[in-house]
Structure 1
Amino acid sequence: MTGPWLPQASCDAGCVDAGATTPGHRAMVAWRLAVRVVLALTLLSASPLIATPVPGRSRVQRSYCRLMLRCLGVRITVSGGPIRNLSGVLVVSGHVSWVDVFVIGAVMPGRFVAKSELISWPGLGLLARLMKVIPIERANLRRLPTVVDTVAARLRTGHTVIAFPEGTTWCGLAHGPFRPAMFQAAVDAGRPVQPLRLSYHHRDGRPSTTAAYIGDDTLLGSIRRLMAAPRTLVRVQVAALQLPGDDRRDLAVRCESAVRGDRARRAAGHALVA
C-alpha cells in the first residue's frame, strides 16, 4: 500500500560514498573487513546479555552498542546539553541509517519505534526483538494510532522510547520534515521530548554518507561499506529538552528546529546542499 502520506526521500544511491576501490587499498580493506566481521559475529553471539534483567542493564546496553559501533568502524562523540536521568522520555532525531539505533542506544538506551521489516533481518532482527522494538508498518496508516497508543503507554510507565519522525531514511546531507503523528504520544502521556542531532563524518571532519541506508541499498551491502571504510565519526548533540504542550504539530516544529539548527530555516531536501 502506498499513498501521499507515505514518507519518500529524494536520496538515492548517488548520494552514498562507496569508499575507496583503488588496487592499493584493496588488501587493507579486505583485512579490515575480515577483522571487523569476526568481532561483530562474536558480539552478536553475546546479544542476549542486553535483555538480561540485571541492575544497571542500561549501562550494559550502552556498552554493547558502543562495542557494536566499534566493530562497524564507527566512533561517537557527544556534546550539547546534559543527558537528564528522567523516566518516560520520547527521544527523537533525524534518520540516516539502521546504525542510528546503535548510536542512540550508546547514548540514551530505550525502546525503539522501527519499521517492522527490521524484525526479520538476519542478526539485527534478534537484536531488535531483544531490545523490544515497537514495530511500525509505514505503508499501513490504519495501524498508526495503535503504535502511537503503544508509545504513549510505554512513556507513562517510565520507559524511554526512541522514534524517527521523518518516517524514512535520508542521506544525512539532505533531510525530510518531522511528521507530527509520533509526537501525539508525548502529548497524550504528558511526557517531555529529547531531541538529538546526529551527523556522520569522515575522519577529517568532512560530512560522510557512508552510513546512509537509502534507495535500493541492502543490509549486507550497507554493513560491508561501513566496515570497509577507514573510520566513520558520529557527532551526537543533545539539544534542549522540549515540554510536550497540547499541540503535536507545534511540538514537532520545536523538535525539528532543535535538531536542525540553522538548517531548519532552509528548504528540506537536496536543494539545501546544492
Structure 2
Amino acid sequence: MNPWLPTAPCTPRTCAGHEGRMRGRPAAAALLLAGCACILAGALAAPFVPLLGAARRDRLIRRWAYGVVRSFGVRVRITGTPAAPDGNPAAPGTLVVANHISWLDIPLVAAVFPGRMLAKSEIRGWPLLGPLAARGGTLFVERDRLRALPATVRTIGAALRGGSRVVVFPEGTTWCGRGPGGRFGPAVFQAAIDADATVRPVRITYRAAPSRSTGTTGRTGPAAGCRPTGHEISAPAEHTAPAGAAAFVGDDPLLASLWRVVTAAGLTAEIRVLPPIPASGLPDRRALARRAQTAVANESANRPPESVHH
C-alpha cells in the first residue's frame, strides 16, 4: 500500500454491523435486483442523456439517482436548498465536497447535485457502475501515483472554469460515519481557487430505525478510532443510530456491501446541503480545506459563516 494514501481505522468486521430489523432473503433479493436494474437502465440511457438540454438533463439525473438509492430499500432525506443556477454559462462551476461513507454516497449526492465525479481509477472496472461512471463524465484519478496529482488538479480546474459542477470526496477514503471522519486533502481545493469557483459542502449521514425489541440498532459500541465526536447532526427520533450497514470500508467486497444494505431494514440516507464557501475568500487551499471540513463535520456549520469556529 502507498504510505501517502489516506487510511481509516474502519473495517467491515468492526464498523459495518447491523443489529436492527432485517429483511428476509426473498425481499432482499428483490431489492438487489431492483437496484441493479435501475443502475443498468441508467447505463443504457447514458449515451442519450447529453442530447437533452441542461435543465432537463439535471432533472432526469436527479430523479434517476434518487431512484437508485430508493430501489435498494434506503429512504432519502434531503435538508437545505441547493443554489439555483444563475443561467450564466461564463460563470465558474461549483466544487461539491462531502464526507465519504458508502458507495451509496455517489447516487445520493447526484440526487441533489448532478455533476462530474472525481473517483479512484479502480471504479472504472466495477460491473455496471464502472461503465456508467465513465459515460457520465467521471474524472478518474490514479491514487497510487502521487505524480498524477498535479494533472488531476489541472483537469478539475479546467472543468470548473468551463462551468461544470465537480463532486469530490476529499477524505480520500471511506469512513464508517460513527466518528469525525478523515482530514480533507487540500489538493482539490487548489482547483477551486484557480478557477475562482464556489465550494459547496454537503454532509452525508446514514441512520437506522431502532430495533422493535431493543429500541437500538447497530453495534453496542463504535470501533476504536471511530468514536462519536458529539457533533453529529440531529435526526428524527425514529432514526437515532448510525447505520453501520451502509458503511463500505476497508477491504469490504462490493457484493457483500450490496447484500448488507438490502437486508438491513429501516435505513435512511440523509444529505444536508450546507452554505456555499467562495474560494476567493480564504488565503490558501489548506485554509479552504479546513473551512469545508469544519462545515461538514460540525452542526455549527448550519449557522452563518461568521459563527463557525475553525
TM-score by length of structure 1 reads 0.88
Q: 2:297 aligns with which of 236, 260, 270?
A: 260
The whole-number CA distance in structure 1 between the counterparts of 2:288 and 2:118 is 18
Q: Is the 8 A contact 1:17 1:209 kept in 2?
A: yes
Question: Given that residues 96 and 212 in structure 1 are in contact (C-alpha distance below 8 angstroms), is that contact kept between their aligned partners in structure 2?
Answer: yes
Is 1:98 aligned to residue 103 of structure 2? yes
* CA pair 83-19 structure 1, distance change in 2 beyond 3 A: farther
CA pair 78-262 structure 1, distance change in 2 beyond 3 A: closer
Whether contact under 8 Å (2:206, 2:269) holds in the other structure is: yes
Alignment-derived partner of residue 243 in structure 1: 278
Trace 1:71-82 onto structure 2 (pairs within 5 A). 71-82=71-82
Q: CA deviation at 1:234?
A: 1.3
Q: Which secondary structure state, in structure 2, belongs to the residue aligned with residue 11 of structure 1?
A: coil
Residue number among 29, 32, 39 corresponding to 2:27 in the alignment: 32
Between the aligned partners of 1:260 and 1:102, the Cα distance in structure 2 is 21
**TM-fit CA distance, 1:71:** 1.5
Q: Does 1:218 align with 2:253?
A: yes
1:262 CA drift (Å): 5.0
Contact 2:40 2:128 in 1 (8 A): no
Runs of 5+ consecutive residues of structure 2 not aligned to the other structure: 87-91, 210-237, 302-310
Q: Tell me what 1:202 maps to.
A: 208
Letter in 2 for 1:179: G
Counterpart of 2:63 in structure 1: which amino acid?
Answer: S
1:20 to partner: Cα distance: 6.0
| Alignment-mate amino acid for residue 61 of structure 2 | Q
Instruction: Among all aligned residue pairs of Structure 1 and Structure 2, give the percentage whose two residues are the same amino acid.
Output: 38
RMSD over aligned Cα atoms: 1.9
Instruction: Give the match for residue 181 of structure 1.
Output: 187
Tell which deviates more after alignment, 31-40 or 251-260: 31-40
Give TM-score, length-normalised by structure 2.
Answer: 0.79
Cα distance in structure 1, aligned partners of 2:294 and 2:160: 23
Which aligned pairs between 1:21-60 and structure 2 lie closer than 5 A? 28-47=23-42, 48-51=44-47, 52-53=49-50, 54-55=52-53, 56-60=56-60
Unaligned ranges ≥5, structure 1:
265-274
Report the more deviating stretch, 194-203 or 80-89: 80-89
Aligned length in residues:
258
Q: What is the alpha-carbon distance in structure 2 between the residues aligned to residue 34 and residue 262 of structure 1?
A: 37
The whole-number CA distance in structure 1 between the counterparts of 2:36 and 2:82 is 33
For residues 60-79 of structure 1, the aligned pairs below 5 Å read 60-79=60-79
Q: CA deviation at 1:243?
A: 0.6
Q: Distance in 2 between matches of 1:35 and 1:19?
A: 21
- The structural deviation recorded for 1:193 is 0.3
8 Å CA contact 1:50–1:60 kept in 2: the answer is: no
Question: Given the superposition, is the C-alpha separation of residues 114 and 19 from structure 1 closer, same or farther in structure 2, using an over 3 Å criterion?
Answer: farther
Letter in 2 for 1:9: A
Aligned AA for 1:240? Answer: P
Distance 2:285 2:45 in 1: 36
Separation in 2, partners of 1:122, 1:82 = 31
Hey, what's the Cα distance between the residues in 2 that align with 1:44 and 1:253? 34
**Structure 1 residue 42 displacement after superposition:** 2.5
Q: Which residue is 1:227 aligned to?
A: 262
CA–CA distance in structure 1, aligned partners of residues 208 and 71 of structure 2: 16
Deviation beyond 6 Å, 4+ runs, structure 1:
none
Partner of 1:216: helix, strand, or coil? coil
Change (3 A) 1:41 1:100: closer
